[in-house]
Structure 1
Amino acid sequence: MNGSRRPRAALAMARDAAKAVLGPDALAALGRVCDLVPDTVLDDFTTERARAVLRDVEVLVTGWGCPPLDAAALAAAPRLRAVVHTAGSVRGHITPECWGRGIEVSSAAAANALPVAEYTVAMILLSGKQVIERAREFKAVRRRDEWLGLSHGVGNYGRTVGVLSASMIGRRVIELLRPYDLRVLLHDPYVTAEDAHTLGVRPVGIGELFASSDVVSVHTPLLAATRGMVGRELIAAMRHHAVLINTARGAVLDQDALTEAARAGRVRAILDVTDPEVLPPEHPLWECDNVMITPHLAGSQGNEWGRLADLAVSELDRWAAGDGFAHAVRRERLAYLA
Structure 2
Amino acid sequence: MASADSGGLAVVGLNKTFGSLTALSDVSFEVGAGEIFGFVGSNGAGKSTTMRIILGVLAANSGEALFDGRVIDADIRRRIGYMPEERGLYPKMKVGDQLVYLARLHGLSASDAADATAYWTQRLGVEARIRDNVGDLSLGNQQRVQLAAALVFAPDVLVLDEPFSGLDPVAVDVMSEVILEKSRDGVPVLFSSHQLELVQRLCDRVGIIAKGRMRALGAVDELRARGGVRLRIDAPNAPHGWADTLPGVVRADYGGETVLQVDGSHDDQRILTAALATGPVHAFASATPDLTEMFREVVTAQ
TM-score of the superposition, structure 1-length normalised?
0.28
Give me the TM-score of the superposition, normalised by structure 2.
0.31
The structure richer in strand per residue is 2
Select the structure that is richer in helix: 1
